[in-house]
Chains A and B, each alone.
Chain A
Amino acid sequence: MFDRRLINNFDWILLATLVVIGVLSICNLYSATNTIRSMAGSQVYVKQICWYTIGFLILLLVTTFDYHILDRFAYPVFFISLIALAASLKMGKVAYGSQRWLSFGYFSVQPSELVKVSLVIVLAKHFSDLEKHRLRDLLRPLVLIAIPFIIIVHQPDLGTALILLMVSFSIVFFVNVNWKAILIFLSTAVLSAPFFWIILQDYQKKRIIAFLRPDLDPLGAGYHVTQSKITIGSGLLWGKGFLKGTQTRLNFLPQQHTDFSFSVFAEEWGFVGSAILLLLYLFLILWCLNIARNSQDKFGTLIVIGIAASIFWHLTINVSMVTGLLPVVGTPLVLFSYGGSSVVSTLAAMGLVMNVSMRRFMFQE
């Protein structure tokens, strides 16, 4: 039963925003990996095109069913993604000193990206099912958040763990802004910190210390921030021009195609370019919030809020990190940095947003 109104209600503006970001991302990756050190990595932008194509197909697929069926599938989907996450810890391949990939021969997936989306759905279900908000109803979401969080800290992928925490807290606070709740959450976090510290391995502790005190690591993360600031700052108002970024050419930046892709863009397109990119994201987030506002049920609202929060925190943390406002955590700029799992899962999530958006008038039936 495919409703014609679905096509009439199709959110072309949302799709267009995503396409523009996608095109900018691919052009930027072409530039970032087109350096003097042309290695096998120069094909990164081609792969990103593939990921975007797959992502958009999944996005369209996700819009075809009514998101309310997720009410039934929320927990199964969440547990499957948790199992994949646990598997990546057990037998995943190690890259960048952390075990976060599950390899399937030709490609590998990052189950933590899937968990980000499935956790949003499961939390949305939990809170939309509640009649009243009692404090003890916070127990279950705490457990739901803690399990993937512990696994991801163990990988260790502190950036993703942080994002997961921020996104879930955004949902919780949105549903239940209540000083008692905030206190409970914060005190749980503070009280469980020493416990975490005990179960962590030495090298993991080192990494966390390096995160909290980057000045102790002037040769690693500290160096990258210095270089990133020079790269961004040297872009001035109009930038050095496409493919003309000198810092990028010389390979000063680590992970130019992932965590530091914004720096590459800011160098070549200057303040004007980076401001436009930020405005695109701002528009995307505000548009999502608007969809959340117009959604006619709590479940839809909470899903969209969670996804918007995910994009917001990714962007804020990544841009703060590359501009030296926050320590280097290792978080990609969602949709803009290279990363198959991230692009596909984010576009799938945007499919959900569009799904909610398209069905906002359904009640008029």
Chain B
Amino acid sequence: MVRRSDFEPVEGETYQRRLTGLTLLVLIAFGILFARLWSLQIINGPNYRMQSEHNRIDLRDVLPSRGLIFDKNDHLLVDNRPSFILGVIPEDIKDPDGLLEGLSGLIEIDGITARKKIERALKWDPFNPVYIKKDLTRDELARVETNLFSMPGVIIEVKPRRHCIYNNLAAHLIGYLGEIDRHQLKREEHKESKLGDFVGKVGIEKKWHRYLNGIRGGQQVEVDASGRILRVLYQKPAEPGLDVNLSIDGDLQMVAEKSLYGRAGAIVAMNPRSGEILAMASSPAFNPNDFAKGMDRKGWEGVVSNPRFPLQNRVISGQYPPGSLFKIVVALAGLEEGVIDPHEELFCGGSHSFQRRIYRCWREQGHGYVALHRALVESCDVYFYQLGQRVGIDTIAKYAKRLGLGCRTGLELGDEKAGLIPSRAWKLRRWHVPWQEGETLSVAVGQSFTLVTPIQMVRFISALFNGGALLRPQVTKWIGRDNKKGVFQFKPDVLDRWSIKRENIELVKAALIGVVNEAHGTGWRARLDGIRVAGKTGTAQVVSLPEEEEPVEQTEIPYEFRDHAWFVAVAPAEDPLIALAILIEHSGQGGRVAAPIARDILGSYFSRSRP
């Protein structure tokens, strides 16, 4: 056995002394603990005993006020209004059935659901209120308040409710709040949230929730047996949320929504030089205030099962064939690739036959010999069938993607769709069949599989007129409080620059000015006095009618098979201040339906701010 004798006597003695010292220290420390226990349990004990039996210390939330939402001119769009909520503290109820019966004598309540909620809360969380009815009317409030003393455990809380001042205005953009679900609760961004909290579900309310919401505060309060607060022991004030200022022009938004009234469609206006969205309207819309009030099952089902999908923001998630708008892409591709001379004339006799099929021009009698300029101005299909064939499908797809179509624009709102630009490889991958040459002809006039969103088109037309800068559309100007520099400040975000020769862009621009301003231009209905508008019409077929058949009048076919009307525009053409994309679902030709809407919107815009 190892024996160690390195314990020198002198050190041993020191150790003995130190051990005695340690023992003393331990005794002193324990003395303090005993004294503390004596003070808590014997001296102050009765007081604590009373607190433990009669009162209790509770934690109450202090909710922050949610930030407001303004438009670009500082007009208030969304604020908070007080609303009264009836709740009960389960622990304080003596007889739940009697209480619910008493309450239902005063106001209309859902007794069965309430009963279930209370029972569950009694098991899990008896000290926090269970809410039975939201949004009491003044009348109901008065009836409950006068009887409050006879119903221990019943409380009335005042909570702010989100309120959109103009109801439906910019509803898709602003979005709405809803009770947080378990899925969201697990996410990092909601780690401060609790079950029962309201969080942004879509739109700006969701995107900027973390700034809008503010930071929850709380109080440590002493409450008596019937739930009344005796005193506030400590408190941490809530930190109010920040305000969001949108780039939206409220007046323009109103005009846009008015022109969509009774129709399904989308209108988006953008500052073509900065990417700021000036208006974003989608129809049909919904009223976010209905959500704030707490929608019942019937109301929710009404919204969800509406065949026209009012919850969909068509500007970013509506995907449509671009129709003749796509001719701009094909023209640019043809010029860049050098397969067409701008002066070369192709013949249009009203139809074009390829591989024993007939491809019609929208103008039955044909356009005769047309060069590029007139082909765009008058939107000649036959010219573009031939040009498309020359360019080839894969080159068309390459240009379309390079010009920013068929991909998300990166707008900060969620649920943006990408659209679709078909190519040979795509078709083989997706459908496992090779590309048909005839399909190239359809693609060249914006039909077939091609899909774009209105936000892509407004960015596209902006880039054409701003020198080729592919901007990220943005809807937020700044976030902060009291006009102070806040957490977010808008700055233009150029994602990409077109690599298209200047002279080719100028050729196409001149043609788009012609679309609106020349004699046979398809977009003449968008003409404005004093301001030069440039644009392009488009008519997107929903179902491809058999080519052999004669074209039919739109009013003679069922609604859901009618064509979509497109119009994209910028104004003034020389130095544009506003770019527009308009899509009206199932309404007919773009020139006839969408172009006049563009004129109204541009007219209203420039009547307020002359360039």
Name A residues whose Cβ lies closer than 8 Å to a Cβ of B: 36-37, 66, 68-69, 71, 128, 174, 177, 215, 218-219, 222-223, 226-227, 229-237, 246-247, 250, 252, 266, 270-271, 274-275, 278, 282, 285-286, 289, 292-293, 296-299, 301, 305, 312, 316, 319-320, 323, 325, 362-363, 365
Interface residues on chain B, size class: 35 or more
Chosen A-B contacts, 13 in total, with CB atoms closer than 8 Å, are A66-B1, A71-B2, A219-B59, A230-B57, A233-B47, A233-B48, A234-B51, A236-B41, A252-B56, A282-B30, A298-B6, A298-B11, A362-B1
* CA A325 to CA B35, docked complex, whole Å: 11
Q: Are B15 and A301 in contact (CB under 8 A)?
A: yes
Q: Are B18 and A271 in contact (CB under 8 A)?
A: no
Nearest Cβ in chain A — how far from B54, in angstroms? 11
Q: Are A278 and B30 in contact (CB under 8 A)?
A: yes
B36-71 Cβ-contact flags toward A at 8 Å (1 or 0): 111011101111110111001101000000000000
A68-B4, A293-B16, A296-B7 known; A236-B23 Cβ under 8 A: no
Q: Are B34 and A236 in contact (CB under 8 A)?
A: no
Instruction: Verify if B304 is at the interface (C-beta below 8 Å from A).
Output: no
Instruction: Verify if B545 is at the interface (C-beta below 8 Å from A).
Output: no
Instruction: Verify if B303 is at the interface (C-beta below 8 Å from A).
Output: no
Name B residues whose Cβ lies closer than 8 Å to a Cβ of A: 1-7, 11, 15-16, 18-19, 22-23, 26-27, 29-30, 32-34, 36-38, 40-42, 44-49, 51-53, 56-57, 59, 123-124, 218, 220, 233-236
Closest 7 CB pairs of A and B: A233-B48, A218-B234, A234-B52, A219-B218, A271-B41, A234-B49, A236-B45
Q: Are B233 and A233 in contact (CB under 8 A)?
A: no
Q: Are A297 and B1 in contact (CB under 8 A)?
A: no
Q: Are B4 and A297 in contact (CB under 8 A)?
A: yes
* CA A71 to CA B30, docked complex, whole Å: 33
Nearest Cβ in chain B — how far from A139, in angstroms? 21
* CA A236 to CA B6, docked complex, whole Å: 52
A286-B26, A298-B6 known; A234-B37 Cβ under 8 A: no
Nearest Cβ in chain B — how far from A66, in angstroms? 6
| Contact of A234 (CB < 8 Å), options: B11, B23, B45, B218 | B45
Q: Which residues of chain B are within 8 angstroms of A215 by Cβ–Cβ distance?
A: 234
Q: Which residues of chain B are within 8 angstroms of A233 by Cβ–Cβ distance?
A: 40-41, 44-45, 47-49, 52
Which of A233, A246, A296 has the most chain B CB atoms closer than 10 A to its own CB?
Answer: A233
Q: Are B220 and A226 in contact (CB under 8 A)?
A: yes
Q: Are A266 and B37 in contact (CB under 8 A)?
A: yes
Q: Which residues of chain B are within 8 angstroms of A250 by Cβ–Cβ distance?
A: 56
The majority secondary structure among interface residues of chain B is: helix
Q: Which residues of chain B are within 8 angstroms of A305 by Cβ–Cβ distance?
A: 22
Q: Are A246 and B53 in contact (CB under 8 A)?
A: yes
Q: Are A320 and B36 in contact (CB under 8 A)?
A: yes
Nearest Cβ in chain A — how far from B46, in angstroms? 7
Q: Are A232 and B22 in contact (CB under 8 A)?
A: no
* CA A297 to CA B2, docked complex, whole Å: 11
Q: Are A232 and B33 in contact (CB under 8 A)?
A: no
Q: Are B49 and A271 in contact (CB under 8 A)?
A: no
Q: Are B48 and A177 in contact (CB under 8 A)?
A: no
Q: Which residues of chain B are within 8 angstroms of A323 by Cβ–Cβ distance?
A: 33, 36-37, 40
Q: Are B42 and A237 in contact (CB under 8 A)?
A: yes
**Residue of B whose beta carbon sits closest to that of A246:** B52
Q: Which residues of chain A are within 8 angstroms of B48 by Cβ–Cβ distance?
A: 229-230, 232-234
Q: Are B37 and A278 in contact (CB under 8 A)?
A: yes
Q: Which residues of chain A are within 8 angstroms of B26 by Cβ–Cβ distance?
A: 282, 285-286, 289, 312
Which of A230, A252, A274, A289 has the most chain B CB atoms closer than 10 A to its own CB?
Answer: A230
Q: Which residues of chain A are within 8 angstroms of B46 by Cβ–Cβ distance?
A: 236
Q: Which residues of chain B are within 8 angstroms of A69 by Cβ–Cβ distance?
A: 2
Q: Are A278 and B19 in contact (CB under 8 A)?
A: no
| Contact of A289 (CB < 8 Å), options: B23, B42, B52 | B23
Q: Are A37 and B234 in contact (CB under 8 A)?
A: no
**Residue of B whose beta carbon sits closest to that of A238:** B41
Nearest Cβ in chain A — how far from B219, in angstroms? 8
Q: Are B220 and A223 in contact (CB under 8 A)?
A: yes
Nearest Cβ in chain B — how far from A359, in angstroms? 8
* CA A111 to CA B357, docked complex, whole Å: 78
| Contact of A266 (CB < 8 Å), options: B1, B41, B234 | B41
* CA A305 to CA B21, docked complex, whole Å: 13
Nearest Cβ in chain B — how far from A104, in angstroms? 26
